[in-house]
Amino acid sequence: MFRTLSQRVWPSRTVLVREKHTLPDLPYDYNALEPVISAEIMQLHHQKHHQTYVTSLNQAEEKFLEAKEKNDLKTMIALTSQLRFNGGGHINHSILWQNFSPKGGEPEGDLLKAIEANFGSFDTLKNGLSSSAVSLQGSGWTWLGYNKSTNSLAVATCANQDPLEPTTGLVPLLGIDVWEHAYYLQYKNVRADYVKNVFKIINWKDVATRLATARQ
């Protein structure tokens, strides 16, 4: 309603009305993913790390719009790094919380068919995702993504909080966060154990829904 009013009162000037990003709720309690991921990690990861990305993203967008108003192109460009890092952090973690479920399960139906068509078997996919996640240097994410051009699945990695689709064009289906904050309090330096265990809590229905949507 606010947008329409501004267009009627000032028909010659479009005022950019920006909705602030907000931290999405988790679809389960902090302790729901134990013993795979501790409540302590879930709470810090959600309320501190993801919240900070949301807050910083809102700040970066506000500064960007102010710079745009002044036609300050240098500042707009300088802000893209903050936009990518915090925007990516918000996008990635919003997907992650939905990718998890205490009940876990297995892929089925069209998703399973696609996995078998592209990787041979579910086990081969798991091995591919795992080795990619474990060998990632520094902070980043390993993804199972969907390539719309070739109608195929792919395993890809992104550094830091680079979001999959803007960076590679692949549609994100399932993400594995290997920033140390995702596992260190519980698994210390043994990232491999964390990655192995994470497969027990994947919400394959959510992954299947994302694939179905991407294929539309």
Give the residues lining the site for another protein (CB under 8 A): 44, 48-49, 52, 81, 85, 137-140, 159-161, 179-181, 184-185, 188-189
- Asked if residues 98 and 117 have their Cβ atoms less than 8 Å apart, the reply is no
186 CB-near residues (< 8 Å, 6+ apart): 37, 38, 40, 41, 194
Task: Give the shortest CB-198-to-another protein separation in angstroms.
Answer: 17
- Residue 135 or 151: the one with the smaller Cβ distance to another protein is 135
Task: Give the shortest CB-101-to-another protein separation in angstroms.
Answer: 25
- Residue 186 or 209: the one with the smaller Cβ distance to another protein is 186
Find tokens 């992650």 and name the residue: 96
Task: Give the shortest CB-120-to-another protein separation in angstroms.
Answer: 25
Task: Give the shortest CB-93-to-another protein separation in angstroms.
Answer: 13
For the chain, the first-to-last Cα distance in angstroms comes to 31
- Residue 49 or 68: the one with the smaller Cβ distance to another protein is 49
Determine the residue type at 197.
N
Determine the residue type at 160.
N
Distance CA 107, CA 111 (A): 6
According to DSSP, the residues that pair with 177 across neighbouring strands are 141
DSSP assignment of 42-92 equals: HHHIIIIIIHHHHHHHHHHHHHHHHHHHTT-HHHHHHTHHHHHHHHHHHHH
Task: Give the shortest CB-77-to-another protein separation in angstroms.
Answer: 17
Alpha-carbon separation of residue 208 from 106, 176, 202 (angstroms): 11, 16, 11
- Residue 41 or 114: the one with the smaller Cβ distance to another protein is 41
Task: Give the shortest CB-135-to-another protein separation in angstroms.
Answer: 9
- Residue 116 or 180: the one with the smaller Cβ distance to another protein is 180
Determine the residue type at 215.
R
- Residue 28's closest CA among 18, 36, 16? 36
- Residue 101 or 130: the one with the smaller Cβ distance to another protein is 130
Determine the residue type at 168.
T
